[in-house]
Structure 1
Amino acid sequence: MTDSKSAPRRRSRWKVTPFARIGIAVGVVALIVVAGVAASSLASAKLQNTAAVSHSASAVAAVKSSALPSASTAPTPTPTPTPTTTSAVPSSAASAAAETAASAGGAAVSSAGAVLPNAVRTPGAINAAVTQATIAQTICTSGWTSTIRPPSSFTTALKVKQLASGYSYQGDTRTADYEEDHLISLELGGSPTAEANLWPEPYVGTSGARVKDQIENKLNALVCSGAITLATAQSAITSNWWGAYQIYVLHTPATAPAPPAVAEPAPAPQPPATPAQPPASASDHPVGATGQCVDGTYTSAAHRTGACSRHGGLSVYY
């Protein structure tokens, strides 16, 4: 008799083939690679985000820095100047300042006390229409100077201008104390309007403007009579009119040396001087004559003063 009880069943075990193992290994490696790539991408994204945030912070800081003024560029307030006071100049200093101004641009004072023009500002200027050859038609014709004399409005305006610039005598700027004088007078061929020939001459003492008029008239008479040349008269009045007054008014030219004559271009030849005639006796002079001039002509002047002024002077008075 056979036993109907069956033998115990054996459990089946999962078997992995070699190919399956290789596939599993490949899958694990792929998973690891994918995880690494994902981690690297995440890290890169974080770095980019950090850089962007840093750049934004830098831009904000730059904007804030430019908006705020720096200590080096902030404007420095201008200090308020401290007011100063000028003290009055002592009288001695003011006197010295006045003397300095006078020597720089004012009138000069000669050793004899006469007031002379400043040689730099008023060297003298001549009228080109007046030469030795034209004196008979110009300065030796009565009334000719009135045709060229400038109006008082011109000379007064120039006087005011010169006085204001310091061209004065001892600081006096009153126009009434001065005559706007032609250094070379019109009757000696001086320029009527050149500023180099005009200066504010003061009316002071015995050597002022009124005295200068005397030497101007005297020199005109000598030139027109042929006693001296036009150039000699112009040089005398220009170099030192007070010295010329001493020579020609207080003394005679024959006993005193004349100032050196300035050169005159191409002077016209002069006719020989008429020899002086011997004095006529009282019995042979013309009826009505009161004297005889040096050149031999007669005068009927009622006084000795001024007689024969254009004929070399008075030789004899009857």
Structure 2
Amino acid sequence: MKAITNYSYGGPEVLTYSDIETPIPVGREVLIDIHATAINPLDWHVMRGTPYFMRLMTGILRPKKFNVLGADISGKVIEIGSEVTQFEVGDEVFGDIFNFGLGGLAEYACVSEEALVHKPANLSFEAAAAVPVAALTAWHGLRKFGTEKWGKKVLINGASGGVGTFAVQIANSCRAHVTGVCSTRNVELVRSIGADHVIDYTQNDLAENEEEYDLILDAVGNLSLRDYKNLLAPGGHCAVVGFGGMEHLIKVGLFGGRRIKMVDFKANQEDLLKIKELLETGIISSVIDRTYPLAEAREAMIYLETSRARGKVIITNKK
């Protein structure tokens, strides 16, 4: 089968369009004919091996496991292992396969049935692939750190990105007053998906904003500890997404703060089924910026690393 492989750390230049062996499912594994895959900042961190502590998991000098990137997949089940109980051949599925070794940038993936759920009938394969990592991250960031804050003020920093677009919609569905932060070209997009107020960071300094928020979801990680403290209302919470927030967590620990935390979770079927319900009822939907064929995954990664994508970047295997 065709796949995008990387056997060394580095930029998109290490990605190669290659022929590798098609896997065979055993036990509770299913073989998926992948129709679409979404790429995430997670993929470029694994690709580059940064931050360096990640290499304790992926390999110190070169990748030892994740030589095919891609966590978000959607496609059809074409073969099942002998112990599979949840799916049959022909089922359309989607899921986050990070905890099962990645492998989405390929024509086929062999993964445990525990990583997947049935694809909503009202979604295309591309729209479904855009969901798992970003929507689950937004879900956990909002629900885990701000459950008691619904109906109050929520700030989404990076509201036009993959996580941000889902976060705006989820927070809006919970009747929060949502403020999104983005650049000028994305103001109307963020407003169209449910933000009550939009701050254009190219025109306004967020650090000088006098509003206070009950919950901040920082999907960029570019704010300082002082920014968080100034923007949070008394008793407020801040959920920081991605590795950009690591330095803040260290500072918070040193200062004894407890309101700022990283969004850390393990994808599971229960949470993905909740997201599926939101998709089926139209409460949330995918925002897709660009779609690339599998052979052009390197170009897709170059674009993703610009951090200018509106919503998700999708790799498709089907014409």
TM class, shorter-length: under 0.3
Q: Which has the higher helix share?
A: 1
**Structure 1 length normalisation: TM-score?**
0.21
Higher Rg:
1
More contact order relative to length (CA 8 Å, sep ≥ 6): 2
Q: Which has the higher strand share?
A: 2
